[in-house]
A = this chain, B = another copy of it.
Amino acid sequence: MRLLALRNGQKALILYSQIWGTRMRTISTSFLPPIALDPSKQSPIYRQLYEWFRQAIVAGQLRPGQRVPSTRSLATELKVSRIPVCAAYEQLHAEGYLETVLRAGTRVANSIPDDTLNAIGTDSNSALRASSRRIQGRISRRVATMSERPETWLTSLVAFRVSLPALECFPTKVWSALVHRHLRRQTRQMMAYGEAAGHWPLREAIAEYLGAARAVRCEPFQVLITTGCQQGIHLAAQVLLDAGAHVWFEEPGYPGARQALRMAGAQIVPVPVDEEGLNVAEGIRRDRRARAAYITPSHQYPLGMTMSASRRMQLLNWAARSEAWIIEDDYDSEFRFGARPFPSLQGLDVSARVIYVGTFSKVMFPALRLGYVVVPRDLVKAFTTLRDASDQFSSTLYQVVMTDFIREGHFARHIRRMRILYMERRKALVEAIRNKLNGDLEVVGSEAGMHLVALLPHDANDVAISANAKEKGISVMPLASCYLKRCVRPGLILGYGGTDARQIDQGVRTLKTLL
Q: Which residues of A contact B (CB under 8 A)?
A: 51, 54, 57-58, 91, 94-97, 109, 111-113, 115-116, 119-122, 124, 127-128, 131-132, 134-135, 138-143, 146-149, 153-155, 157, 163-164, 167-168, 170, 172, 176, 179-180, 183-184, 186, 188-196, 215, 226-228, 230-231, 234, 238-243, 245, 256, 259-260, 262-265, 276, 291, 306, 308-311, 313-314, 316-317, 320-321, 323, 325, 339-340, 342-343, 348-353, 365-369, 376-379, 381-382, 384-386, 388-398, 498
Contacts and interface: CB of A to CB of B under 8 A. Distances in A.
B309 A192 contact: no
28 contacts: A58-B313, A95-B308, A111-B308, A112-B313, A119-B317, A120-B348, A120-B349, A124-B350, A124-B352, A127-B350, A131-B352, A140-B238, A140-B241, A143-B239, A146-B385, A146-B386, A149-B196, A154-B193, A155-B192, A176-B186, A191-B365, A191-B367, A231-B392, A260-B390, A368-B395, A369-B395, A390-B391, A391-B391
Contact of A230 (B188, B245, B390): B390
Contacts of A140: 238-242, 245, 264
A385 B230 CA distance: 13
A490 B479 CA distance: 60
Pairs of residues from A and B, 7 with the lowest C-beta to C-beta distance, nearest first: A96-B309, A111-B310, A259-B389, A116-B317, A191-B365, A96-B308, A231-B391
Given A155-B189, A230-B392, A385 B143 contact: yes
Which residue of A142, A176, A353 has the most chain B CB atoms within 10 A of its CB atom?
A142
Contact of A95 (B96, B154, B262, B342): B342
Contacts of A245: 140
A137 to B, nearest CB: 9
A396 B379 contact: no
Contacts of A256: 389
